[in-house]
Structure 1
Amino acid sequence: MNPNKAAIIDMGTNTFHLLLVNLYEDRFETIFKEKIPVKIGQGGITHNTIHPEAQKRAFHTIRHFRNMIDGEGIINVFAFATSAVRNATNGPAFVEEIKDKFDIKVNVIDGDEEALMIYEGIRFSGSLNGQTSLMMDIGGGSVEFIIGTAQEAFWRKSFEIGGQRMLDLFHYHDPILTEETENLTFYLEEKLADLRYAIEQFKPTALVGASGTFDTLTDIYFQSLHQEKNKKQQVFELPVASFEIIAEKLLTLNKAERLKIPGMIPMRVDMIVVASCLIKYILQLVPVTALTCSNYALKEGAIARLIGKHSFAAAES
């Protein structure tokens, strides 16, 4: 057993992530990582419940994760659940069952804590320079926005408008109809009033996207240039002009056609359409020429805390 090994489980609404790491004083080394499209929000998120089929997929995945963790002899396990679980009426029973079945204690974090951990992950990636940035993480259940610098987060908020929710509410036709994207924009206008006010107040001049959708968008961008992404790099630039071209494709192609886009992965093919609509909306509020895309998000924020990079200034803001 190695005491400086740790396992991080991020139980997102769309994707469950497992990250096994060696921890050092100022860095970490990945032993193994895996993401599985559990889609725990599917079939129940709009009714604030975890559907029995989704529970089955979740338990199957957690059993697999437990085996991987035990195979590495890891005893330090940090598991987090976010939007779908925290809003589900059967969430507490679900978490209790994971403890009983797999001896894994799941920490169900609120939106504010989720936003803070995402900020810490983004900062750990080196995505933040001297500018004030608007950071965003598009999850399946919620979307987190943070405004801040590498030194501190000035403002942060979680909105329950994630990809699975937007998909259930607006994306009925494939390709998505203009009317559906217009309805989605009205919805964002209504839901994101606090964000617009914060942008006016703090005037961010850079836009940083964390993980998930942004990873896939940069994969598509690099494939379009016939280039490979550097596996050791944590931060990528996506020119807004290139994003606009990709988004236009995503909004006009059907699912089968979207799957053929080089760089697309099946687990993102549905949600990336509404996520792109959200990014287009945000770009009107923070007009930048390039999106900074961070590979790091919540689970790396957890690692940053474990190796003592946790910012107390941010926690107190």
Structure 2
Amino acid sequence: MSTRKAAVIDMGTNTFHLLLVELNGVGFRTIYKEKIPVKLGQGGISQNQLAEDAQKRAFHTLKHFKNLIDGEGIDQVFAFATSAVRNAENGPAFVQKVKEDIGIEIHVISGEEEAQLIYEGINLSGSLNGHVNLMMDIGGGSVEFIIGTSTEVFWKRSFEIGGQRLLDAFHYHDPILPEEVEKLESYCGEKLQPLLEAIEKYKPTSLVGASGTFDTLTDIYYESMLQCKLTGQHVFELPTSEFQRIFTLLKSKNREERLKIPGMIAMRVDMIVVASCLIEFILRYVPVNSMICSHYSLKEGAVSRLLTGKVTA
């Protein structure tokens, strides 16, 4: 069976991901992967700008990624940017400069495209069962929700209320104050009205969280159980009671104390509190005994597209 190599660059608002894969027509093998907390949205996202420092970090990271891609002799590169670039007034200029200076062509994807790719990534992981699932991916700039099964999407939407935006708007004190949590939840209730209507209509009975925050929450859970995640495992379960325990812990600690929680990583420590507030809000409308956590998300959705030939990088 013939194989070919490809690279996926996911330029998130908080984290940049590089995934180098070998495609064999029916599946893929990961050659190399790396994630770097570029924080592209920091210092500008609330003003719809890419701050100068953030752009410098992005350029440095993309040059590093390009060196790795060239080192593997890969010429099929699918690079895409999400909320931070999508909404930034200086986003087009940034995309053009990356193309000219580094030779990487960036696709700025819409919120709807992002939600679809997340669905395809989750589906590739094997997370979806026979139930109607509510899927969510909490990014730094936007949050995507999808309602569907392994064979069909009933509803999907992207909301510009990601972790960096919630952090800027509500998390002024550390530990976070109860009134800040209340304001955040009230805001979510307003912004997510279309989602709540969709939940009422389609009645999902399963909650699937994708990557990012959910990876870290399951890491914290596994550490507390003195267990290790198995290599090659892409789907994890997080009991709701354990999420509530971890959430209470996160709310009670400042940044330095959160960093000491076994399983916590530095790139997630700032946004995990507001992201967990959002999860807790959603659990009120989709009450489940446990959440499914998919390690696959947006970038694996892009790999799925490359496998099926729906995109050519």
Asked whether 1:281 is paired with 2:281, we answer yes
Partner of 1:17: helix, strand, or coil? strand
Which residue does the alignment assign to 1:132?
132
**Conserved? CA contact 2:3–2:23, under 8 Å:** no
Asked whether 1:271 is paired with 2:265, we answer no
1:70 aligned partner, one-letter code: D
Which residue does the alignment assign to 1:313?
none
2:245 aligned partner, one-letter code: I
Cα 1:132–1:33 shift into 2, 3 Å:
same
Query: 1:1-317 maps to which residues of 2 (within 5 A)?
Result: 4-308=4-308
Q: Deviations over 1:213-250 (max 9, x none)?
A: 00000000000000100121100000000000000000
Partner of 1:285: helix, strand, or coil? coil
Runs of 4+ aligned structure 1 residues displaced above 4 Å come to: none
- CA deviation after TM superposition for structure 1 residue 3, in Å: 6.7
1:63 aligned partner, one-letter code: K
1:80 aligned partner, one-letter code: F
Task: Determine the C-alpha separation between the residues in 2 that align with 1:77 and 1:91.
Answer: 20
2:75 aligned partner, one-letter code: I
- CA deviation after TM superposition for structure 1 residue 27, in Å: 1.0
Q: What TM-score does the superposition give when structure 1 sets the normalisation length? A: 0.96
Q: In percent, how many aligned pairs have the same letter?
A: 66
**Conserved? CA contact 2:16–2:36, under 8 Å:** yes
Task: Determine the C-alpha separation between the residues in 1 that align with 2:50 and 2:238.
Answer: 35
Partner of 1:18: helix, strand, or coil? strand
Count of aligned pairs: 309
- CA deviation after TM superposition for structure 1 residue 88, in Å: 0.1
Task: Determine the C-alpha separation between the residues in 2 that align with 1:295 and 1:183.
Answer: 30
Task: Determine the C-alpha separation between the residues in 2 that align with 1:279 and 1:86.
Answer: 24
1:108 aligned partner, one-letter code: V
Partner of 2:8: helix, strand, or coil? strand
- Structure 2 unmatched ranges of 5 or more: none
Task: Determine the C-alpha separation between the residues in 2 that align with 1:279 and 1:231.
Answer: 26
Task: Determine the C-alpha separation between the residues in 2 that align with 1:37 and 1:114.
Answer: 20
Task: Determine the C-alpha separation between the residues in 1 that align with 2:198 and 2:113.
Answer: 18
Task: Determine the C-alpha separation between the residues in 2 that align with 1:278 and 1:244.
Answer: 12
Task: Determine the C-alpha separation between the residues in 2 that align with 1:275 and 1:97.
Answer: 32
Task: Determine the C-alpha separation between the residues in 1 that align with 2:212 and 2:80.
Answer: 17
2:201 aligned partner, one-letter code: Q
- CA RMSD after TM alignment: 1.0
Q: Deviations over 1:132-169 (max 9, x none)?
A: 00000000000000000000111000000000000000
Partner of 1:307: helix, strand, or coil? helix
- Structure 1 unmatched ranges of 5 or more: 311-317
Q: Deviations over 1:70-95 (max 9, x none)?
A: 00000000001000000000000000
- CA deviation after TM superposition for structure 1 residue 309, in Å: 8.3
Task: Determine the C-alpha separation between the residues in 2 that align with 1:288 and 1:271.
Answer: 24
